Amino acid sequence: MRTGEIGLGLVALNELGVGAFSFSGALRSWGDALSSAPDTMATEYVRLFGSGIDGAVCPPIESQHLGVNLVGDPARHAGRIEDLMRRSGFTARSDDRSPDHLIVELELASALCGAEAAERAAGDTGRRWLEWQQELVVVLAMWVPGFARTVAERDRSGVYAALSDATAAFVLHEHDLVRVLLQASGEGPE
């Protein structure tokens, strides 16, 4: 995707009222960093997130942040996401990423949110979708902010640090929003 297309997307999000949310400042910072991005972004992406001989500098994978290096632990994290994907009927757009990869988890969060909104529009409460969203965002909120700090420490371009900061701010926003929506339904966590 070209940086100009992303910039137009940010403008469209702003027109939809995203600027009123707590994560909007971080999103704007990412847009600013992206507009002055160096030509070495692709190289920096591979250095930070790609697999090398020693692995990625900042792996965007849940089990790498929450897991321990014991046999089967990464599978436990991936299995939890696969189970949630199965229950919700979600299929990832790419088969080349592990289920606990940040991109897959954010795609799942988006699908759960969309399904909840559709049920609400049809007059239902969307509660099961909210519960599944909570199941996902509680864990995202446990690891994505730390991941963002690691990216901020190691990113030479500033673009990925700003993007990971915006992602962490969005995850924390979603965590709080889902909690509030469940509480408002009268059956959520206190």
More confident call, 26 vs 5: 26
Q: What pLDDT is recorded for position 1?
A: 45
In a domain, 40, yes or no: yes
In a domain, 161, yes or no: yes
Residue 126 contacts residue 119 (beta carbons within 8 Å): yes
In a domain, 166, yes or no: yes
Residues of the chain with pLDDT > 70, as a percent, come to 78
In a domain, 189, yes or no: no
Show the domain range for 110.
Answer: 3-184
3-state class (DSSP) for residue 44: helix
Looking at the structure of the chain, the number of domains it has is: 1
- Average the pLDDT over 18-25 and give the result: 71
Query: pLDDT confidence of 89, banded at 50, 70, 90?
Result: very high
Q: Does position 16 have pLDDT exceeding 90, yes or no?
A: no
47, 96, 149 from 170: Cα distances, Å: 24, 25, 15
CATH number for the domain that contains residue 160: 1.10.3480
pLDDT, tens digit (0-9, with 9 covering 90-100), for 99-134: 999 999 999 999 999 999 999 899 988 899 999 999
Element (H, E) at 75: helix 73-88
In a domain, 169, yes or no: yes
Query: pLDDT confidence of 71, banded at 50, 70, 90?
Result: low
In a domain, 46, yes or no: yes
CA pseudo-torsion sign 65, 68, 71, 73: negative
3-state class (DSSP) for residue 82: helix
CB within 8 A of 22, min separation 6: which ones?
169, 172, 173
Cα–Cα dist 160/175, whole Å: 22
More confident call, 190 vs 49: 49
In a domain, 190, yes or no: no
In a domain, 148, yes or no: yes
Q: Which of 13, 74, 58 is nearest to 160 (CA)?
A: 58
**What tokens were used for 166?**
């915006």
pLDDT, tens digit (0-9, with 9 covering 90-100), for 156-170: 888 899 999 999 999
